[in-house]
Amino acid sequence: MYPHERSLVERLKDKPFTILGGSSDTDEKYKKAIKENNITWPSFWDGGKTGGPIAKAWAVRGWPTIYVIDAKGVIRYKNTRGKAMDEAVDALLKEMEGE
Amino acid sequence: MLVAATRLTVAQTDTKNKVADQISELIATQDAAVAKLMEEVRALPREQQREAYQKGYPQPKDTIDALSAIVRKNPANEASLKAISWMSGRSRGRALSPEMFAALEEHHLNSSELSTVVLSLYSANSEEAQAFLATVVEKSEVKEAQGSALYVQAMQMERDPVKAEEYKAIVEKLNAEHADFEVRGRKVAAMMKATVEAKEKLAIGKPAPEIIGKDVDGNEMKLSDYKGKIVVLDFWGDW
């Protein structure tokens, strides 16, 4: 999944877009994962175990869990992965350009 | 007359015990076969264990057929409930024929052991299983069994968006009437309610709740810092 997300970030680097991660990994695993997978976007660190406060507030019960939020802060899509994630983000970008 | 009546009672008790013995023996034989296989599998190298287990697994079909036949003839016998419970546990409820559900509804609705059977039905979605769960909710006098049936109904609906409203109603009922009902030591009614509320707050079209957190280096970060940008919030785990 990381290569796909990396390419999305790369493709939209000049657009009002970001990925924000949320990680339930332990400190070391999180750091290692960021380095090995070349994760360039920011990530919330959720206390090093599953069921942390952020995961709880966002009803995370499996991984990955994905929310797509528009520029106004409204939840617009849930659990879109791969191609569907790209399409969701592109649709929101188009919507912004139209306004 | 009195002598005859006594004899009859003795004969009935004999049959009753015989049925219980037969059921116990069938179950013990199958369980012993599984235990023996497990022992053999554990002696093998790790990479061969899975295949050996699957290949050697003593299929419970014959035992289930034999137990079902006994239950059909003796539906009211207490040991029949034990037989049904065992069959259900081995098959997540799928091995239970309509007659097994009929036996439960007619003779075991108020047994204190009923909840064990009910809880094993979480992936049994046959019409009979559904009807049985509804009957337990409506008619069983055993609170534990009622709570279990509501819980299983809810679990079966949880991932079905069409049944979202029905699911919510059951969670409400569990909270109102079975707040103390526990599964594996956890009070599930409150947990399910919290999940329902969280899901409603996180529905498409709702404002994203603020996140105030830190990255792994301890730098503070907030979701609202990214307002004006499209955000893909991605909970990942690397294991």
Mind listing the domains of chain B with CATH numbers?
59-226 (1.25.40)
Minimal Cα–Cα distance from B207 to chain A, Å?
Answer: 4
Q: Is residue A86 in some structural domain?
A: no
Domain that holds residue A30: 2-75
User: Domain total for chain A?
Assistant: 1
Render pLDDT for B48-73 as a digit per residue (tens, 0 to 9): 999 999 999 999 999 999 999 999 99
The answer, for A51 touching chain B at a CB cutoff of 8 Å, is: no
The helix/strand/coil state of A73 is coil
Tell me whether residues B236 and A60 touch, CB distance under 8 A.
no
Q: Which residues of B touch A75 (CB under 8 A)?
A: 202-208
Mean pLDDT of B23-31: 97
pLDDT higher than 70, residue B5: no
* DSSP string of A6-53, one letter each residue: HHHHHHTTTSSEEEEEEE-S-HHHHHHHHHHTT--S-EEE-TTSTT-H
Which pLDDT score is estimated for B239? 43
Mean pLDDT of B127-138: 95
pLDDT higher than 80, residue B47: yes
Minimal Cα–Cα distance from B231 to chain A, Å?
Answer: 5
Give phi and psi for A69, each to the nearest 5: -115, 135
Q: What share of chain B in percent tops pLDDT 70?
A: 94
pTM confidence score:
0.68
Q: Is residue A95 in some structural domain?
A: no
Nearest by CB: A75 against B208, B211, B235: B208
* DSSP string of chain B, one letter each residue: -HHHHHHHHHHHHHHHHHHHHHHHHHHHHHHHHHHHHHHHHHTS-HHHHHHHHHHH---THHHHHHHHHHHHH-TT-HHHHHHHHHHHHHHTTTT--HHHHHHHHHH-TT-TTHHHHHHTTTT--SHHHHHHHHHHHHH---HHHHHHHHHHHHHHHTT-GGGHHHHHHHHHHHHHH-TT-EETTEEHHHHHHHHHHHHHHTSTTSBPPP-EEE-TT--EEEGGGGTTSEEEEEEE---
Nearest by CB: B232 against A33, A56, A85: A85
Q: Pick the range with the lowest mean pLDDT from A50-59, A78-87, B29-38, B70-79.
A: A50-59
Tell me whether residues A17 and B216 touch, CB distance under 8 A.
no
Contact partners, residue A37, CB within 8 Å, separation at least 6: A2, A6, B238
Residue from A45, A79, A93 whose CB has the most chain B CBs within 10 Å, to mutate: A45
Q: Is residue A88 in some structural domain?
A: no
- Mean pLDDT value across chain B: 91
Render pLDDT for A22-53 as a digit per residue (tens, 0 to 9): 887 777 887 887 788 778 889 898 877 777 88
Alpha-carbon distance values, B164 to A7, B16, B200, B209, B234 (Å): 36, 46, 11, 22, 25
Q: Is residue A89 in some structural domain?
A: no
Q: Is residue A97 in some structural domain?
A: no
Nearest by CB: A75 against B206, B235, B237: B206
Mean pLDDT of A58-87: 91
Minimal Cα–Cα distance from A14 to chain B, Å?
Answer: 11
Nearest by CB: A29 against B226, B235, B238: B238
Q: Which residues of A touch B203 (CB under 8 A)?
A: 75
What is the predicted ipTM? 0.93
Distance between CA atoms of B191 and A62, rounded to whole angstroms? Answer: 16
Q: Is B66 exposed, middle or buried (0-12, 13-18, 19+ CB in 10 A)?
A: middle
Which pLDDT score is estimated for B10? 67
pLDDT higher than 90, residue A95: yes
Q: Which residues of A touch B199 (CB under 8 A)?
A: 59
